[in-house]
Every structure is written in C-alpha cells, then in structure tokens.
Structure 1
Amino acid sequence: MNAKEHLWARALAACALVLIPVAQVRAQNGPPPQTVRVDLVRVEPVEQWRPVTGELRPARRALLAAEEEGLIVELGVREGETVAAGSIIASLRDDQARIEVLRTRARAAAASGLIVQREAELAEFRLDLERLKELLERGSAAQTELDRASTLVKSAEAMLVQAQAGLEADQAELAQAERRLSDMRLRAPFDGVVVSRRTELGQWISRGDAVVELVSLTDIEAWIDVPERYIDRLRDESVQVRVRVTALGVEVEAPVTGVVPEVDALSRLFPVRVAMANEDGRLKPGMSVTGMVPTGERGESMLLHKDAIMRDDVGAYVYFAAGMPGEEVAAVARVEVLFAVGAEYVAVRAPQLEHGVRVVVEGNERMGFPGRPLIIQNPPAGGAGGRVDQPG
C-alpha cells in the first residue's frame, strides 16, 4: 500500500468513528438533539405579593322601572339578551297619551295664532296713536282722542303679553304630554344584558314598578377582599393589581379604582374595586377571580424568566438542563406561578429547582418530551442540576 492509499484509509476510518454514534442513536431510536437557549434560576429578595379572592361585578346595574302606569303591549327582551343603549325594552298602551299630545299641540297652535292677531292689533293702535299726535300738533284733533288712542295701545300691549304667556303655558303642557308619550316606552340607559324580567306581556303596571334588570358588560369591575394591613400600599396611584379570572385563564394588570371604606368585622377585609377591560365581552358578572396585591414586605423568592413557563392541562412546568456539561438532556419540573416580578420574570414555587439551575427559555416549545439531548447556544457560567421528573 502506497502513501496515498494509506492516507485514504485513515480518512475513511475517521469518518466511520464519527458515523458510528449517529448510527447507534438511530438504531436505538434516540431523539435528535434540540438547540435551545437557557437562563439561570434566581433566588432574590423581592416585594411579596399576596393572593386574595373576589368576583366580577358590573360597574353599572339598573332596575328599569315604569315612569307611567299602563298596560304592557310590547316586551321584546328575555333574560340573557343584549341590548343597545336607547333601544326599546317595553311599551305601554299609549292611545290616551297620543290624544293628549294632539290636544295640547292644537292649543299651542291656537295660542300662536292669537299672538299674531294681538301683534297686528297692537301695530294698528300704535299707528293710530302716531297719526293723532300729528293731528294734535296741527290742531285737528282733541287731547281726549289722543288719550283714548294711548290707552288702546297699552291695552293691546297687555293683551299681547297675556297671549304670549298663554302660548308658553300651552307649550309647557305640550312638552309634558310628549314626555308622557315618550315615557310609555322604556329604553335601555346603556349597553348591557338583561338578567331578569319582572313583568310579562299584558300585565298592568303602576308608576315605579320594575320591568327588567339590566347589567353592563362593557364596564366590569373585580371586587377583591384585601386584608386591612395591605390597604395603605394600594393607595399609591402607581400600583397595579394583577387579577386572574379562573374560569377563562385570563390574567390582567389593572389599576385600583376604589377602596370601599367598610371593613368586615370578623375577617378584617376591605372590598377593593379594580377596573377590568371587557371589549370582547368574555368577562361575566359573578365569575370568581384571584387577585395578587403587593404587600410592601420583602422576602426571598425563586425567579424564572417568563419565557421558560410552559402550560398543559395539569398546570405550569419548565424544561431545565440536567446532566454533565456537554451531555445535557431536557428534564421537566412542575412550577406554581405566584406573581410577576417586573416585565420579564415571575416568582414561582418549584421544589425541584434551585438557584443556578439552567431553564430553557427558547426552543422549549419544540421540545416535545423530556430526555431529549440539548445543544445550549448560550451556556451561562456555572449552573447546577435538579431532580428529574416527568410532567404530570
């Protein structure tokens, strides 16, 4: 074998050494490695947040009542239906109300006509007065004639004022009749949902009787019960409270809109109102919520980057790097997310993790299963292992 053949033989042997592990992995159906980025678990002193409970309530609730008595001839809404502001909820029989509007409108029109007549009479009397003044200056009229003309002008002015007052009274009666006719229709004061009907079609109702109960869905508040020792911390206008709607898995950060100054005598809890955005209408009054409120007290907490958190039907978990450097595989740890710390980190409870453990923050969504070999693109200095567990 010459030198060239000897070199080719050595090269082929080296390739075989590289290919053997890959072939073995494939033969053993081993998972391919996953390229990831990691971040270290931190245990640091931070302000503690306390969970509190509460419920969603509508910021606006109205028990719509009849402003006039009468027979219900239209009731077109039922429980659970949405209504727009200004839409008709119910109608009463309005025959007499319409007749009254026509009668008062005719009286107002007659009063307007009378004013026109009085104005014409006054104009004529004033013209006569001016003529008599000219005749008196030339000696062609007597003073008594001038005095009589002046009296007629004053009388016409008084009659015009009286006619104008009569028109105002008739217009007021017309406005009242039109208002009464309008009140025969009950309209929604805001966008909302009907939660109950208090009467039925064909029923006679009196003034003030309830017709329907309406709640707003666009204006929703979370009412949470906060221990009295944390109330002062919430008076800071910059404080945001985190509210999680349990049924929807929705979590929002919102300002405190008010503290109800009435404490429960036994629990020493204050009701606190938190405004909730509800553009899509998913939030419903009565849903239970869990709020996280700042306590003003500092303590050590385990912090994870928020991108490390994964969720399944059981709850939250993270992938972390287990094994010796260069031989890391993905392991899983269940975590309980407690509260957010800043914009990027969350405080968690995780018995399997400790300070310095490397958790996967990028590539975890493609991990698929634990035990997969890892290629760490940003290996941080140091690091520690953790107990290996399976999700669930």
Structure 2
Amino acid sequence: MLQKSKTNESMSQKFLITVLSVSTTTFLLGGLASYWVGGQLSPAVDSAPESAPANPAANRGGPQAQLVRVDSIEREEFTPVRTLVGDLIAVRRATIATEVAGKIIELPVDEGSAVIAGKTRLARVDDTWTKLEEDKIATQIAEQQATLEFERADLSRYEDMLKHNAVSLSETEQKRSLIEGLEAGLAQHKVMLREANERDSRLEIFAPFDGSVVAKLAEVGEYLPIGSPIVEIVSSGRIDARIMVPEESLALIRVGDTLDLLIDSLGIELQGEVASINAQGSVGSRTFPVRIAMDDQDGILLPGMGVSAFVPIKRESTELLVPRDAVLRKPDESTIWILERGDSIAGDSTAATSGKPDAPESSGPANWTAHPVPVRVLSHTRDSYAISPVRKVDRPRLEPGVQVVTEGLERLVPGARVKVDPDTSELAAVPGTYRTGQQLSDRDR
C-alpha cells in the first residue's frame, strides 16, 4: 500500500509540472502574437489622412525667425553722382610780420589760439626807442618854431627899413629865403613826428581777420628787424573744399550749385556751394580745381581735413533705388535681400510672392522669408543705390514697393524666416553682442 501511495504522489507532481509548462508557453506565445499584430497595424495608422489639424506647437522645432529691419524699393528720378576726394582749405591765410624793428616784449598767443579781427593782440614790440625818437623830433620842432617866429619878426623890421632905404633889397630877400627854409624844415620835422607816432601805434600788432594761429614764428625777447614774421593765421567762419573735377563732370556743375559733402574723419554730412571753378586744369589728369564754400561748424572743420564731394556724372534719370544699407557690396558682385511671402510652416517656397510695404506686418512674420538677389549697382546718391538685376529671372521680383532688408542682412541664409522690427529707432547694443551683429530672436525675447 505504501509503495502504491508513493507512485500516485509522483504522478501528481509530474502532471502539475506539465500544466504549468503548457500555461507558460501559451502566455509567451500570446504576447508574441500581440506584438506582431500591433507592428503590422502601425503603418496603416500612420499612413491614414489627418482628420484633425496638427498641433502648431509641434511645428515650432525649426529655426527661429531672424529679426530684421526693412525698407522699400522705389522708382524715382535721381542724379547719379561720383565721389571725389579733396581737402579742406582756409579761405584766407596770412603770415603776420612786424612793421617796426625792435624787441618782442609780449606774445600772448600760441598755436591753436583763436583770434578776433582788430581785437586780439598778437604781439607787442618794445617802444623805448620809438618814444625817445618822438621826443627828439618834438624838441627839434619846438626849436625850429622859435627860430621861425624870431626870423618872421626880424623880416617885418627889414621890410620897414627897406621902405626907408635903411637896408638893401637883397638883404630883405635873403631874410625871406631863410624863413622859407625854416618853414620847410619845420614841416619836414612834423612829418617825421607823424611817422614816429604811426610807428608807435604799430608796436601793438592785432589780428587782421577772425581765425586761429597755426604757426608761431617768434618768441618773447627776440629782436626782429622790419618785416620779420611773427605768427601765421588762417581764417575761420567760412572754409572751402578743394576738389579736382574730371572734365566730363565739369559741364554738369555751375558756380552757385549746391553739392553734398562728407567729412571723412568726423562722419559729418553737409552741403556746400560751388564758389569757383578754376579755368586752369591739369593736363595730365584732365581735372580742374573747384572750390566749394561751407561753414566751418563753429571751428570743428579745420584746414587739411579730408572731404568727399558727391559730384554728378550724368543728367537726371529714372532708376530703381534701394537704401545704401540694403546692398551688400563685394568685389565679385552685389546682393540685396528681399522678403517674399510663402508658407514657411509647411516649407513650401514655390508659393512665394514678392512683399509689399505693409505686407510683413499684416500677414505675420512667420509667413515671410528672405531671399538673396544678385544686382548690379549702376550709380549712387548720398542715401541710395541705383540697381538692376543681374539675372533676367529676377526682374519681376524687383519692382517698386518690394521689401528689402536694411539691417540684419549679414546673418541671413536663403529662405530664412524673418520677423520685421517695427521700431525705426537706432538699434541698441545687447550685452555680449555687437551693436549691428547678432540681434535678439523670438526665443531671446
């Protein structure tokens, strides 16, 4: 009986192990089948058409819109100009010399000193010897006047005596001749006194015109003969730009015309009036000197500074104009960046259309992209370039009203999404960036 009981227990354990093995195998096979069926159904689900609008946030993973400023292409009449480089020159320049010999006892000005005509004393010469000469001549005049008075009274007695035949006629005539000599001598000494007085008045040397001292040629204590230079001054107020104009442009300007000028070192833009055109030109370069008068801006503009003048090169014409900041000029070609409308979210660039002045802001920055267009610069004015497209295919894209990028174009790539900055004030520098370099994007803001 015991042996039979053990045999039944062993058979029960084997049955239980078999059931567990079959159950585990069935579970694993079911999971594997489920995994396989799910993989087969996924492509069908993915390829099904979208029945609901996509989440806009899912499409924002691309590059952020670049912040730019824009302006418009215009078609206007303008006069093309060329830039000629010249120099600022003083209207008047003078070397002031002493008119009286003597020692310099006062020299209150130095190089760079401003002077006023008739008021600023440039130098003063020692007046010791001049005063002594004046006193000497005055004494001689007094002596001659006393002698002359005595001789005139004596002549009156001679004339009375001649009536009574007490003296001869020749003696009377001699007396008259003596008096005439004394009168001539007295007149000469009076002239000498006026000359000495005039020299004394010129011991103080004053500025002949408003200006400034550019050279100091003497020092206090130095003895100077007549005609020795003391200082050199140049005029102020008006200053001239002297440029050499080619003969082909000479016929396009007249005396009295207004030209635009740029002071290179200071970045000052101003206008001047053509003051003179020199008829004697350079045979080698075929250019003619032209002087353009302007105000010296309260002494800011100085002789010797460089100046650029914008001189017309041909008559007025009608061309496509863009701001100068919109053109990237390179030795091989020039480029402008225009804004075109397109579905930037879907990435469809084939539906792009040229942008009008108010389009970027009205349609939103996400629907505008920037595209480069190679152009040829025909000529320029102070503020604009006259352009024409290099490729025929770009001609319809360049028309009046199309938006061109004026700030931020150095960072653009073809097809870049852009955001138009409505602020027209000057860009402020951002810490860690250049003023005209990387600007704040949507993410930074």
What is the TM-score when the length of structure 1 is the normalising length?
A: 0.60
Q: Which of 78, 82, 98 is the equivalent residue of 1:66?
A: 98
Partner of 1:348 in structure 2? 385
Question: What residue in structure 2 maps to residue 326 of structure 1?
Answer: 362
How far apart are 1:54 and its partner, in Å?
0.6
Q: Which runs of 5+ in 2 are unaligned?
A: 1-64, 327-338, 340-355, 372-376, 390-396, 405-417, 424-434, 438-445
SS of residue in 1 equivalent to 2:312: strand
Judging changes above 3 Å, is the alpha-carbon distance between structure 1 residues 146 and 40 closer, same or farther for their aligned structure 2 residues?
A: farther
* Structure 1 residues 301 and 145: alpha-carbon distance in aligned structure 2, compared to 1, 3 A threshold: farther
Of residues 262, 278, 281, the one that matches 1:260 is 278
Name the CA distance, whole Å, in 2 between partners of 1:121 and 1:332. 115
Alpha-carbon separation, structure 2, partners of 1:299 and 1:231: 18
Deviation digits for residues 330-370 of structure 1 (CA, Å, limit 9, x no counterpart): 9999xx99436xxxxx543579994422679xxxxxxxx96
Q: 1:146 to 1:199 in 2, by over 3 A?
A: same
What's the CA shift string for 1:103-159, capped at 9, x where partnerless?
22333455566677778788x78xx98xxxxxxxxxxxx995499899999888777
Superposition pairs for residues 43-62 of structure 1, below 5 Å? 43-62=75-94
CA distance in 2, matches of 1:332, 1:247: 35
Q: Which residue of 2 aligns with 1:170?
A: 189
Report how many aligned residue pairs link the two structures: 301
- Bigger RCO of structures 1 and 2 (CA < 8 A, at least 6 apart): 1
Q: Unaligned stretches of 5+ in structure 1?
A: 1-29, 31-37, 130-141, 310-318, 341-345, 361-368, 375-389
- Residue in 1 aligned with 2:261? 243
Q: Is the 8 A contact 1:70 1:92 kept in 2?
A: yes
Tell me how far 1:60 sits from its aligned partner.
Answer: 0.9
**Residue 280 of structure 1: how far off its partner (Å):** 1.5
Match of 2:385, as an amino acid? V
Q: Secondary structure at the match of 1:237?
A: coil
Shift of 1:101: 1.6
- 2:303 pairs with one of 285, 291, 314: 285
Q: Following the alignment from structure 2 to structure 1, what is the Cα–Cα distance between the partners of residues 194 and 130?
A: 12
SS in 2 for 1:297: coil
How far the C-alpha of 1:64 sits from its partner, in A, is 1.9
Q: Which protein has the larger Cα radius of gyration, Structure 1 or Structure 2?
A: 2
1:210 correspondence with 2:235: no
Distance in 1 between residues matched to 2:207 and 2:323, nearest whole Å: 48
Contact 1:321 1:328 in 2 (8 A): no
* Distance (Å, rounded) in 2 between the aligned partners of 1:301 and 1:231: 23
Asked if the contact 2:116/2:211 (under 8 Å) is kept, the reply is yes
Structure 1 residues 167, 295: CA separation in 2 closer, same or farther (over 3 Å shift)?
Answer: farther
3-state SS of 1:321 partner: coil
CA RMSD in angstroms, aligned pairs only: 4.7
Q: Which amino acid aligns with 1:217?
A: S
The alignment partner of 1:326 has SS state of helix
Task: Report the CA distance between 1:282 and its aligned residue.
Answer: 1.3
Cα distance, 1:291 vs structure 2: 0.5
Partner of 1:215, secondary structure, is strand
Matched, 1:42 2:36: no
Q: Residues of 2 paired with 1:304 and 1:280: CA distance?
A: 34
1:77 equivalent in alignment to 2:113: no
Contact 1:48 / 1:294 at 8 angstroms: preserved in 2? yes
TM-score using structure 2 length:
0.54
Q: Check 1:160–1:50 CA distance in 2 against 1; reply closer, same or farther (3 A cut).
A: farther
Residue pair 1:108, 1:170 contacting (<8 A) in 2 also: yes
- CA contact under 8 A between 2:162 and 2:172: conserved in structure 1? no
Call closer, same or farther: CA 1:43–1:74 in 2, change over 3 Å.
same
The alpha-carbon deviation at position 52 of structure 1 amounts to 0.7
Offset of residue 178 of structure 1: 2.0
Gap change, CA 1:321 and 1:101, over 3 Å in 2? same
Partner of 2:381: 339
Identical-pair percentage: 26
Distance 2:303 2:232 in 1: 13
In 2, distance between residues paired with 1:72 and 1:231? 50
2:130 counterpart residue number:
97
